[in-house]
A and B are shown apart, each in its own frame.
Chain A
Amino acid sequence: MTVEELDPLIHAPARLRIVATLAALPDGDTLSFTRLQDLTGLTPGNLITHLRKLEDARYIRSEKSGNGRASLTSIRLTRQGRDALDTYTVVLRDLLGQLPATGN
């Protein structure tokens, strides 16, 4: 097992935070863009950049509702995204098992 086996779409600090945050919600729940930004601590521009990559890979889906003041964008983790995170976690655990103990 090598680091290269970790899904590069998830294996980036910002995207890892985004996917982990969305995965904490029950399956089928959506999160508003504003709340996701608040929870991940990313700037809107940075968050959009990462969401675009995740959406292109079909790991997330975004839906826009309303217009003007009522405009709201919601994001949810897809089944594919949840499975990708599960696989990422398994690979990460295997990798950690191979690493020597740090002693701290």
Chain B
Amino acid sequence: MSPRFDTFSPPPTEPDPYATAAASEMPEEELDLDPRAAAALLDQATRRAERRFELRPSWLTLTAAIVALVCYGVLWLSVRDQHPYRGPAGWALAVLYGTIAVWATLNAVVLRRATRGVGGRAARQRAIIGTAGAAVWICVYIVQGALDHAGAGTAIAYGIWPAAAPLIVVGAAAAGYEAGRARAGAAAFAVTAVVLGAVACFAGPRAVWGVIGIGLCTLLLAAAAVQLRHRRT
């Protein structure tokens, strides 16, 4: 018996099945596979594994579309009749933070399930990307504080900047990352988000929330449709 499958060592308190289970004494599964059955099995096993390892399933993208519409929508509802512009109301911010908290929890659950038992280089890379992304996101709001401090005005500091900057900054980072991995579709999605954020700035501090909400929701719905189509082919 190979030492790496040593079954004679004392079992740990809560045994690792790999360390404690004996190699099967049952006849090994060596069925005569015909090519069609092998192809079906390979396809089935690959699809099953891809589904179970998927970090962003299509239903999550669909949920993201609804979250974007709700978050930007409530902020737009709270500012649309403001003359002069004063920025999003407290109740709208409460809905925004509540929705983001639920969304973040949902993402964490999906991520945890997909990456259970997964380790190694790509897993470490994901952790670095997550940390870098969070840092970039926080910086967007640090600049918002700086704009306010510098007297940029409510329309800029609490209107156009917080509505468009997260989309532009995070979208640009994502576009660079996806382009580096030669994933044209994902890079195109990220660039479209950046363009949406930039163009929406012309709508002004009130309408920018609504324009981005509808635009981002549409973009995410399209992404979910592409994901579903990709899964079926």
Binding site for B on A (CB under 8 A): 3, 6, 11-14, 16-17, 20-21, 23-37, 39-40, 43-50, 52, 55-56, 62, 64, 67-69, 71-74, 76, 89, 92-93, 95-96, 99, 102
Binding site for A on B (CB under 8 A): 2, 4-5, 12-26, 28-31, 33-36, 38-39, 41-42, 45-46, 48-50, 52-53, 116-123
Asked whether, in the complex, the Cβ of B26 is within 8 Å of the Cβ of A46, the reply is yes
A95 vs B37: C-alpha distance when bound (angstroms)? 12
Taking the closest CB of chain A, its distance from the CB of B231, in whole angstroms, is 13
Chain B residues, CB < 8 A from A26: 121-122
Taking the closest CB of chain B, its distance from the CB of A27, in whole angstroms, is 7
Asked whether, in the complex, the Cβ of A73 is within 8 Å of the Cβ of B38, the reply is no
A13 vs B45: C-alpha distance when bound (angstroms)? 10
A38 vs B25: C-alpha distance when bound (angstroms)? 20
Chain A residues, CB < 8 A from B38: 6, 11, 16, 92
A-B interface contact total, Cβ < 8 Å: 153
Asked whether, in the complex, the Cβ of B19 is within 8 Å of the Cβ of A71, the reply is yes
A93 vs B42: C-alpha distance when bound (angstroms)? 11
The 6 closest A-B pairs by CB, nearest first: A35-B117, A44-B21, A32-B117, A28-B121, A24-B49, A45-B24
Chain B residues, CB < 8 A from A6: 35, 38
Which of B19, B31, B122 lies in contact with A29, CB distance below 8 A? B122
Asked whether, in the complex, the Cβ of A89 is within 8 Å of the Cβ of B42, the reply is yes
Asked whether, in the complex, the Cβ of A96 is within 8 Å of the Cβ of B35, the reply is yes
Taking each of B22, B25, B45, which has the highest tally of chain A beta carbons within 10 Å of its own beta carbon? B45
Asked whether, in the complex, the Cβ of A39 is within 8 Å of the Cβ of B52, the reply is yes
Chain A residues, CB < 8 A from B122: 25-29
Asked whether, in the complex, the Cβ of A12 is within 8 Å of the Cβ of B118, the reply is no
Extra inter-chain contacts (15) besides given A3-B35, A40-B45, A92-B42, CB under 8 Å:
A13-B41, A14-B29, A16-B33, A21-B48, A23-B49, A27-B122, A32-B117, A35-B117, A44-B18, A45-B25, A48-B18, A48-B22, A52-B23, A73-B19, A96-B35
Which of B15, B31, B34, B48 lies in contact with A12, CB distance below 8 A? B31
Taking each of A20, A62, A69, which has the highest tally of chain B beta carbons within 10 Å of its own beta carbon? A20
Chain B residues, CB < 8 A from A43: 21, 24
**Contacts A13-B33, A20-B42, A46-B29; is A36 near B117 (CB within 8 Å)?**
yes
Chain B residues, CB < 8 A from A17: 41, 45
A71 vs B20: C-alpha distance when bound (angstroms)? 11
Asked whether, in the complex, the Cβ of A50 is within 8 Å of the Cβ of B16, the reply is no
Asked whether, in the complex, the Cβ of A20 is within 8 Å of the Cβ of B49, the reply is yes
Asked whether, in the complex, the Cβ of A73 is within 8 Å of the Cβ of B18, the reply is yes
Asked whether, in the complex, the Cβ of A31 is within 8 Å of the Cβ of B117, the reply is yes
